[in-house]
Structure 1
């Protein structure tokens, strides 16, 4: 009997769980769980029994012992898992049913010794996720879990970083960095040097795994028991839990020292295996294929692969997988839409709109998953408005994608009038497309990745199907008639106003964006439901879902009834990290879609005077941009505030991202691609908000007044006090370099724009974008050379990051010199002209006179500062010494080295002195 959509979703979720945890035993075995050595009545240990059931044998010994531990691990976790023994376990038979064709646990544990149809499905997905090749397959099945005792083994080996392996140019390979074996946190996502961390102490390594295992089991018990009957909802929670505790566990350690590189985490391998397994099973099940026939087909295919036989490649060639990409286009138009009332609510709108973009992308992926009857694990990439879903390549699935695209188009045309939207692109794939390829040869998976990028670019040019064969008719019919007495929306400046928010006529979408900005400051969880929960609920449904906010369980409970009835589809924790090393797990699925928002602390009279003339703030109130613009001002000895009142907008993104994904890895696999996307996103979505909230320089919290308008994927947009944000850019660049293990091929460029706080937000964004474009065009070799990027633009000057660091150091030196020599503001201003002359010597040779101008002006300044006494020779000697020092620091190390870019140091100094 064919399954309905909900039944297919539940069945797919259970299969996903089996595939997701097929390598659970790697975690359990490395933790040396004591339950494995429990003895039966006949004296046989539990592990020995499971070895006979689940492990392959080679030369008289059991291999892949972790498979036996997978079965034991399931037993230990059973009480906190969805019901595996009841009647609702399709496509599996009830657990321990002796007549069962297969059970979920057997399907997970026997992936190295598959026999049944479902076991072969998971085994095939496991191998495809790893990008298997013919010459490595046999060795893989013979490999031991362990390496020789005198070397690092599977306990002591720590995960390598993928970033270190990326090459866009020829250079020596390196393998010096490892990830610490810790739960996911802002601190643990950074690699550490192997020679300072990785050791051959097996006992200590096992103790690290045991601590992680115990944390994982305790975390599993925190998932609400009421959510277990809603399999997709529970699995989404479990996905975040598994990520938290396995993001730094190497998935592959068999064959260490050979071709195996432990650079993919257990999480990323689990996630891609689950996605491929569900798509493969659904391809055959949705078509009604006979399981026995498919089992034999898969078994024969892998036998031929092992033997190097190319005959009868039906299972290898058929396009069984459908890769579906989603992309939010028009993000900036959506975030920075500007009406007459926008500035009054600038901070709240920025916060709300940025979150709303992430929310739209999340809900678009959810709508597509549910329409296809796929579990959350089928979404393998999700970052910065982009997602990738693996589906079965059936006619029904393709038609569903087209229907969902029409839904998205209708929603966006109704609410953003075509200025933004979500596009979907489909790409069928064969099993062989997931092969990594041999070193030095063309990679099938690399070609697949390139086609994915091309497909998405093509989809961007077909927005809203406006160039299709059968256009839907005139757009925005009756648009003008929708404007009532309320007029145009005061927030976006284009939509018909339908309601009021704070006394201003706004559209329903704008009202929800304002409310979202408010809820983000007070709530920590978002609940997605198909019925209104009447708890901080947004008015406008998104793709058929209601968005509800809550603070925590004490506030709302666990919504157990809504979970059991199926009305509650997702429950996402979006709270920001509490500390650098606190595990990012609170019992619910996490989404890193919230931005850091600066707030007022307790203010004394001294601090309140900083904001004199502005609205009086209260404790824990969110700061406005007007307040933030004053946060870098300083107090002089007479109690007067000085320094420029201004904002700095910082916008940037990773350079050459397409090349990094398309050709950066020597042997790309599906798991590696998913890992690379997740890890690239983590720096901006996890670390950056924490840095803004808690980051310190020399014990001082310098960045807590910075708004993270958006940060995720490969880009970021920040607004903060001008000088702190300038320093934040420098700190970010250094942190990112450490994050990517010092790889010179991975870097980002950025644009910094300093403005008054009253400038419209859209103009702030445009100025920062201009700066970013200039940084991306940075070509120190001249206008006829290719840009090298890896640069920053500030105060209209573009410099490499290394020069930028040196220039900021020169600004500190300039402040020292000003204090010691009493440099006047007029003297420093005069240096600006000299930087222009020094930068244009090649165009105008007479500009080389800047040296003479500098010497003359400096001499005149010193004559007024250093007065002569009776000993005129001593006075002259002192003046010459001081002039030489100024020439060395300003003329040589400053203007002479950096030319016009030295203006960055000059402006930074001057703006700090303004009254």
Structure 2
């Protein structure tokens, strides 16, 4: 990275650090508080000036040199906030309230106008519960200030510490608002604001330096309006195709291990490509706006060097994927130039920000339609002299196989399954080994714990990069923390099936967020004259981060339970990230898990977003790829249900077992399944054996309700179940209630289908045999 870009990035990341000090009770403005705090730790006056003079009034009065970095940070701050703010915390006490909490980023999404806020005392990995009436006490800021000051002591203003600072700020500033102005919404965290400001500032620095324009006062302050119309930025997007076929190509043998390893590899592959791109463009992870689900967005400077780097890097990655995996995987990429005005959606009536994302999406789709050049197609179709190969017993690929009948990649995936789960530090280096996974660029990914990683960093110059899983590590190069959804009750499908209640069956569940693409493009639009009031780059980034953390981090705790009210579920995550999830587990545990995830997601987003899911039941030997295809079909059925999605589809496609989540929980589980349990669970073993036979007869009649005679048969069977005169009054009352409800439900088509579903679930819960109805 260029020196000026490094320092601008540091200056932008630290420019608002004084807000923590000011809200903790220190006097003066937040700019002066930040300056006092940082001058005790750092000597670089250029960075200190970025903090002290990042507001225009102070910047004009300071009379800095024309090439001072503070001019870039001032403009980057305004772009990140999407407003030319002239007020500053501490200058006008009446306009600010230090106790204002961080509002939920979902408050103004998809037409909502909620007032939910997030608690400041958040437990690592545990989903915060948005609620009303929260206030931030001064004591909370005092604690944050103390911990931030301690963490900053380990930071040096050198490039290798940029990502460490980013991780530190995420840990301590992502739960407090960027602004406490009473006239503004407080749904942007301080972390999201400074991260976007750093991304913008780095782009400005690279763009102006590339053009030899070093009078930043003139460019960015005196002629700011003109600069904001220049297409100084590139919005870059990449999308990995073929994920589904790559994951679900495996057979049943050690399928869960292979699935998880393949999923993990694709996730790390994408993160590695992101870092290759950023490093090649002379930037760091501040410029990553979003990654997850095989997608990413980067904010880059619009320079010739960057455009050439993108072309070169993407060709390198595609060559690697084609060599290693043929046409199975493809990474499409596109970029579009844009101005600062576009990033702040100006003029709002023309909605240029939304148009930018639409334009980029069209370019990405176009490239997917024209993946390969003529030369590449000829090369792929040219017959090659290859050594004798056999078919891999895991993926079916023709290749050299080992003694276990696995190709090199499948052998790696099985072998790497355990260290992927047990190790929480991943090292990227040039050093090849049997225990490493290859990556594009002639690099390899190996696994370590923290002690091993620190020793390797001290002794091995080949290590280029380090990722850490879920935990926040501090120290040189421990910068890039990745949230990973890795909850697992077992690595063996047989063990998961054996933990099921009743029938020993596995379930497969796939779920993802409804209408997410439209949400990113226009979700923050409001009705009325201020339609685009909330359409900002910072909100898009904050929304992306919130969704990513839910599916990559909070989901682990949701499935693990609290050990009290909620049990740890017999479920394993195959994939969770971006906006979707793929789970395997004991059938009843997975159903409970799907309900937990949906309920938590609804609370987390304030019902601004919804999920749709498909869930199938299988024997433990059922081919996982077939299960995945069937579950995908169910998921799509749920997404097309009743015109509004927000549904779950069960068992088999086109059989009518599709319900909105609220109907499923209240009408199928809460009403009909509860009724069956109440009536049958209280019976003796002798009664239960007779009652179960009746239940199967009733189910057969319900299934064939189109025959008029079956209504009479249904009533007759209900009458035969009536307890004798000597039975307890409670049993007689229970029967009357049961038979009345069953008769009513039989006569109504929707409730009849709900009853069939409830009977299925009840039989699965109580049946020991392996047959499915």
TM-score, scaled relative to structure 1: 0.76
1:887 aligns with 2:739: yes
Provide the C-alpha distance between the structure 2 equivalents of 1:422 and 1:717, rounded to a whole number of angstroms.
21
Provide the C-alpha distance between the structure 1 equivalents of 2:77 and 2:459, rounded to a whole number of angstroms.
35
Cα gap change, 1:238 to 1:831, in 2 (>3 Å)? farther
Corresponding residue for residue 496 of structure 2:
628
Q: Please identify the structure whose Cα radius of gyration is greater.
A: 1
1:389 aligns with 2:298: yes
Provide the C-alpha distance between the structure 1 equivalents of 2:283 and 2:730, rounded to a whole number of angstroms.
80
Q: 1:25 aligns with which of 15, 18, 28?
A: 18
Corresponding residue for residue 607 of structure 1:
none
- The 8 Å contact of residues 612 and 638 in structure 2, kept in 1 or not, is answered as yes
Matches within 5 A, 1:410-809: 410-436=319-345, 441-463=349-371, 466=372, 468=373, 471-476=375-380, 481-484=385-388, 486-497=389-400, 500=402, 503-532=403-432, 537-538=435-436, 540-553=438-451, 555-561=452-458, 567-575=462-470, 588-589=478-479, 591-599=481-489, 622-633=490-501, 643-666=502-525, 667-696=534-563, 699-703=565-569, 705-741=570-606, 743=607, 745-779=608-642, 787-796=643-652, 797-806=657-666, 807-809=668-670
Please, which moves more after superposition, 377-386 or 450-459?
Answer: 450-459
TM-superposed deviation, 1:11: 4.6
Corresponding residue for residue 820 of structure 1:
682
TM-superposed deviation, 1:624: 0.7
Provide the C-alpha distance between the structure 1 equivalents of 2:443 and 2:356, rounded to a whole number of angstroms.
33
Provide the C-alpha distance between the structure 2 equivalents of 1:539 and 1:680, rounded to a whole number of angstroms.
28
Cα deviations across residues 703-734 of structure 1 (Å, max 9, x unaligned)?
A: 1x211111111100000100111111111111
Provide the C-alpha distance between the structure 2 equivalents of 1:661 and 1:895, rounded to a whole number of angstroms.
44
- The 8 Å contact of residues 322 and 392 in structure 1, kept in 2 or not, is answered as yes
- The 8 Å contact of residues 102 and 176 in structure 2, kept in 1 or not, is answered as yes
1:194 aligns with 2:101: no
Provide the C-alpha distance between the structure 2 equivalents of 1:495 and 1:518, rounded to a whole number of angstroms.
26
Tell me the number of residue pairs that the alignment of Structure 1 and Structure 2 aligns.
Answer: 738
TM-superposed deviation, 1:374: 1.4
Secondary structure at 2:200's aligned position in 1? helix
- The 8 Å contact of residues 22 and 108 in structure 1, kept in 2 or not, is answered as yes
Cα deviations across residues 100-157 of structure 1 (Å, max 9, x unaligned)?
A: xxx122123311133443211111111112223xxxx3xx2145547766x9x43200
- The 8 Å contact of residues 184 and 244 in structure 1, kept in 2 or not, is answered as no
Please, which moves more after superposition, 889-898 or 623-632?
Answer: 889-898
Q: 1:322 aligns with which of 228, 234, 248?
A: 234
Provide the C-alpha distance between the structure 2 equivalents of 1:336 and 1:479, rounded to a whole number of angstroms.
27
Provide the C-alpha distance between the structure 1 equivalents of 2:191 and 2:291, rounded to a whole number of angstroms.
15
Corresponding residue for residue 636 of structure 1:
none
Cα deviations across residues 12-60 of structure 1 (Å, max 9, x unaligned)?
A: 3332111111111112221235xx7xxxxxxxxxx6xxxxxxxxxxxxx
Cα gap change, 1:540 to 1:105, in 2 (>3 Å)? same
Provide the C-alpha distance between the structure 1 equivalents of 2:747 and 2:586, rounded to a whole number of angstroms.
27
- The 8 Å contact of residues 330 and 420 in structure 1, kept in 2 or not, is answered as yes
Matches within 5 A, 1:323-342: 323-338=235-250, 342=251
- The 8 Å contact of residues 355 and 593 in structure 1, kept in 2 or not, is answered as no
Cα deviations across residues 401-447 of structure 1 (Å, max 9, x unaligned)?
A: 111111111011111111112221111111110124588x4433222
- The 8 Å contact of residues 261 and 420 in structure 2, kept in 1 or not, is answered as yes
- Structure 2, gaps ≥5 residues long: 526-533, 769-773
Corresponding residue for residue 762 of structure 2:
909
TM-superposed deviation, 1:462: 3.1
Cα deviations across residues 803-861 of structure 1 (Å, max 9, x unaligned)?
A: 110212232331221023545222222333454456xxxxx6x65x7654432211022
Provide the C-alpha distance between the structure 1 equivalents of 2:238 and 2:319, rounded to a whole number of angstroms.
16
Provide the C-alpha distance between the structure 2 equivalents of 1:431 and 1:769, rounded to a whole number of angstroms.
40
- The 8 Å contact of residues 509 and 590 in structure 2, kept in 1 or not, is answered as yes
TM-superposed deviation, 1:880: 7.3
Cα gap change, 1:301 to 1:325, in 2 (>3 Å)? same
Corresponding residue for residue 529 of structure 2:
none
1:253 aligns with 2:180: yes
Secondary structure at 1:424's aligned position in 2? strand
Corresponding residue for residue 124 of structure 1:
75
1:855 aligns with 2:734: no
Cα gap change, 1:899 to 1:460, in 2 (>3 Å)? farther
TM-superposed deviation, 1:376: 1.9
- The 8 Å contact of residues 328 and 423 in structure 1, kept in 2 or not, is answered as yes
- The 8 Å contact of residues 745 and 752 in structure 2, kept in 1 or not, is answered as no
Q: 1:105 aligns with which of 48, 59, 63?
A: 48
Q: 2:724 aligns with which of 847, 864, 867?
A: 867
Corresponding residue for residue 178 of structure 1:
117
Corresponding residue for residue 218 of structure 2:
296
Provide the C-alpha distance between the structure 2 equivalents of 1:215 and 1:898, rounded to a whole number of angstroms.
57
TM-superposed deviation, 1:598: 3.2
Cα gap change, 1:74 to 1:144, in 2 (>3 Å)? closer
Secondary structure at 1:481's aligned position in 2? coil
Please, which moves more after superposition, 507-516 or 731-740?
Answer: 507-516
Cα gap change, 1:218 to 1:890, in 2 (>3 Å)? farther
RMSD: 2.8
Cα deviations across residues 458-492 of structure 1 (Å, max 9, x unaligned)?
A: 333333xx2x4x533513366653343x5233332
Provide the C-alpha distance between the structure 1 equivalents of 2:398 and 2:273, rounded to a whole number of angstroms.
22
TM-superposed deviation, 1:882: 4.8
Please, which moves more after superposition, 762-771 or 471-480?
Answer: 471-480
Secondary structure at 2:641's aligned position in 1? coil
Cα deviations across residues 216-260 of structure 1 (Å, max 9, x unaligned)?
A: 334445x6x7xx59x444222221221111112111223x1x3x1
- Structure 1, gaps ≥5 residues long: 1-6, 37-46, 48-64, 79-84, 86-94, 97-102, 199-203, 306-312, 578-583, 600-621, 634-642, 780-786, 839-843
Cα gap change, 1:803 to 1:851, in 2 (>3 Å)? farther
1:161 aligns with 2:104: yes
TM-score, scaled relative to structure 2: 0.89
Provide the C-alpha distance between the structure 2 equivalents of 1:348 and 1:542, rounded to a whole number of angstroms.
23
Secondary structure at 1:261's aligned position in 2? coil
Provide the C-alpha distance between the structure 1 equivalents of 2:383 and 2:754, rounded to a whole number of angstroms.
51
Corresponding residue for residue 207 of structure 2:
283
- The 8 Å contact of residues 101 and 119 in structure 2, kept in 1 or not, is answered as yes
Cα gap change, 1:185 to 1:147, in 2 (>3 Å)? farther
Provide the C-alpha distance between the structure 2 equivalents of 1:333 and 1:418, rounded to a whole number of angstroms.
11
- The 8 Å contact of residues 587 and 617 in structure 2, kept in 1 or not, is answered as yes
Matches within 5 A, 1:203-218: 205-218=137-150
Provide the C-alpha distance between the structure 1 equivalents of 2:539 and 2:352, rounded to a whole number of angstroms.
14
- The 8 Å contact of residues 4 and 205 in structure 2, kept in 1 or not, is answered as no
Cα deviations across residues 351-410 of structure 1 (Å, max 9, x unaligned)?
A: 211110101100110111122121221212122222222221112211221111111110
